[in-house]
Amino acid sequence: MTTGALSGAMVVRSEPRTVDQRAEPRHEGLVERARICFRDGISMVPVINISSRGAMIESDIAPRLGETVTIEFDGCSRIRAFVRWSREGRIGLNFGGELTIG
């Protein structure tokens, strides 16, 4: 049995997902690192993947679902993001607006 996040709530799944239900593609290797500001602390984190609406990062922070994080990629303005899920050192972020990727 696995769990997943849906609108800030944990959903119990009896089986792992077999179909990619994402609305858009994720880009790996496009961005290597980002600076995050979380609870008055700033740190550099690896970026696993990014899309125009969110990113997956690796970090040892322990955010709550729905909590706000500010993220900044090299050469870009700071972006407000919301924690959608957190599991095993990886965190899924949803941006407050859409980015242009590429």
**What's the pLDDT at 99?**
74
Average pLDDT, the chain: 81
**pLDDT (tens digit, 9 = 90+) per residue, 61-94?**
999 999 999 999 998 889 999 999 999 999 999 9
Which of the pair, 101 or 7, is modelled with greater confidence?
101
**Per residue, what are the HEC states of 3-63?**
EEEECCEEEEECCCCCCCCCCCCCECCCCCEEEEEECCEEEEEEEEEEECCEEEEECCCCC
State pTM to two decimals: 0.74
How many residues make up the chain in this entry?
A: 102
**pLDDT (tens digit, 9 = 90+) per residue, 4-53?**
444 444 445 556 655 545 566 665 666 899 999 999 999 999 999 999 89
